[in-house]
Amino acid sequence: MTIHVRAPATTANLGPGFDVAGAALDLWNELEVGEANGTLDESHLGVRAFARYATPSDWSFTFTDRIPRERGLGSSAAVVALGLVAGAIAAGAEPSADELLARGIDLEGHADNLAAALAGGVCLTWDGRIARIADDVPAAAIAVVPQTRVNTAEARAALPQAVQHADAVFSAGRATLLGAALARGDASLFSASAQDRLHEPYRAAHAPHLAEIRANLPDGALGATLSGSGPTVIVWAEKARAGAVALELADRYPEHEVMHLAIATTGAGPA
């Protein structure tokens, strides 16, 4: 028996949706699980996730990684999702996305990333629950991916324990706009929502091009958000002008990888 599964990249927070909102992106890691060949790295995150459902020593694991690591695109969430889904298949189980999230959240640590990787589309997560609220966003996603890496734990540690009331009000308002934009498919509301004061200002040192891009958005761009804890920035563009926006960003940042990524309409599952 051979099991072949894939899981998408993700962009979490979407600006003000801190630790709640996430979207799956059409960039995929894959896992092939076959008959055991005597070699097994039981410390591998994906193997540990697989073990939540089936005994990994009975299998061999071949991972194909396409999602850049430690760049804010949910690479670890994809690996955990791969292991969970493959393990469930091996065990003959058919868990829901919520059940998979519960089994894997302690391995991943970030429910917003894992939820989107499991369910696809645009998701909200809270209290161990996933709500897939949209199949798409009213903009095109263009990822500006630096060569530098950001350790998620260190980025989290940089966040303050308290924020000013005005900053909390600002982000709460933008989060409301984000929800309305996704519900209505409204590009103007989505553009208005693309700012945050709870996490992005404290992570800006690792993604200086976020401020640069916001200060000089390419024609056709609606806004920019830090992807996860960075350093990747997602520039959201009018769909009809996304190609031109991507070309301009590639010209501005030749040392970075610029990727025009669609929203993935499915989550982790058989390849």
Where, residue-wise, is CATH 3.30.70.890 in the chain? 140-261
Contacts of 237 (CB under 8 A, 6+ apart): 139, 140, 142, 218, 220, 221, 222, 245, 246
91/215 Cα distance (integer angstroms): 51
Checking if the pLDDT of 184 tops 70, the result is yes
Query: Cβ distance 76 to 44 under 8 Å?
Result: no
pLDDT of residue 58: 87
Q: CA nearest 225: which of 78, 11, 8? A: 11
Helix (H, G, I), strand (E, B) or coil at 236: strand
pLDDT digits (tens, 9 = 90+) for 85-120: 999 999 999 999 999 999 999 999 889 999 999 999
- pLDDT value, residue 206: 85
Of 149, 148, 144, 147, the residue nearest 252 (C-alpha): 144
Identify the band that residue 27 occupies on the pLDDT scale cut at 50, 70 and 90: very high
Residue 38 has pLDDT above 80, yes or no: no
- Of the two residues 201 and 152, the one the predictor is more confident about is 201
> Would you say domain 3-134+264-270 falls under CATH 3.40.50.150?
no
Tell me which of 3.40.50.300, 3.30.70.890, 3.40.50.9100, 3.30.420.40 is the CATH number of domain 140-261.
3.30.70.890
How confident is the model over 183-197, as a mean pLDDT? 96
Residue 71: how many CB atoms within 10 A of its CB? 23
Q: At what angle do helices 97-108 and 75-91 cross, to 10 degrees?
A: 130
Sign of the alpha-carbon dihedral angle for 178, 125, 70, 264: negative
Q: How far apart are CA 38 and CA 182, in angstroms?
A: 48
pLDDT of 29 reads: 98
Residues 133-172: pLDDT tens digits? 999 999 999 999 999 988 878 778 888 899 999 999 999 9
CA dihedral sign of residues 139, 158, 144, 32: negative
pTM, entire model: 0.94
In the chain, residues under CATH classification 3.30.230.10 are 3-134+264-270
d(CA 97, CA 118): 6
Considering only 34-43, 117-126, 260-269, which range has the smallest mean pLDDT? 34-43
What average pLDDT does the structure give for the chain? 95
Q: Output the pLDDT for position 174.
A: 97
181-188: average pLDDT: 96
Other C-beta atoms closer than 10 Å to the C-beta of 161 total 4
d(CA 187, CA 171): 18
Q: In what order do the strands lie in the sheet with 140-145?
A: 221-226, 233-237, 140-145, 257-261
- Strands (E) across 117-171 are located at 122-126, 129-134, 140-145
> Can you say whether the dihedral through the CA atoms of 115, 140, 79, 37 is positive or negative?
positive
Query: Cβ(262)–Cβ(143) under 8 Å?
Result: no
SS3 for 58? helix
Confidence at residue 264, expressed as pLDDT on a 0 to 100 scale: 98
